[in-house]
């Protein structure tokens, strides 16, 4: 896709978006969706065309299976992503907190309801989504990309 030609390029953009998201006082849902979608689908870039019902035959396919089982929050990312994509209800409690101080709003385009304000944080079962995102990103970093870099 355009300049993103390898999983490490995709991961670079995901990590960059995570850092920008963390700095945003007014959270942008489109950035959050890019991050969630990216973290969910990155394993498919790592092991393209792999079907988890088949036996893993290489490191990429093993990683594909491992992140689903061993990452503390990958299943949450997967469920949220698929829930958004397919408009399905979640098995987790999703919540948004809002900043109603109009003086702190960066952009009124991000406001769906002026009475409640602009999103300031998103939560999954009362856990800030950034904790979930950071754990999954760290799993990718530590269990795939650092190992991959060391093999080169």
pLDDT band at 120 (very low <50, low <70, confident <90, very high): confident
Q: pLDDT of 61-101, one tens digit each?
A: 999 999 999 999 999 999 999 887 766 777 788 888 887 66
DSSP E strands in 3-152: the ranges are 94-99, 118-124, 127-128
Number of C-beta neighbours around residue 143 at 10 A? 15
pTM for the full model? 0.87
């Amino acid at each position: 896709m355009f300049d993103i030609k390898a999983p490490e390029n995709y991961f670079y953009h995901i990590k960059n978006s995570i850092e920008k998201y963390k700095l945003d006082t007014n959270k942008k849902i489109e950035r959050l969706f890019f991050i969630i979608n990216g973290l969910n689908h990155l394993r498919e870039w790592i092991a393209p065309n792999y079907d988890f019902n088949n036996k893993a035959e290489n490191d990429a396919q093993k990683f594909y299976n491992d992140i689903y089982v061993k990452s503390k929050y990958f299943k949450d990312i997967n469920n949220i992503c698929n829930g958004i994509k397919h408009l399905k209800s979640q098995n987790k409690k999703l919540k948004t907190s809002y900043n109603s101080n109009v003086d702190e709003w960066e952009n009124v385009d991000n406001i769906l309801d002026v009475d409640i304000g602009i999103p300031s944080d998103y939560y999954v079962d009362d856990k800030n989504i950034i904790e979930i995102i950071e754990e999954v990103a760290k799993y990718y970093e530590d269990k795939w990309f650092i190992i991959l870099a060391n093999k080169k």
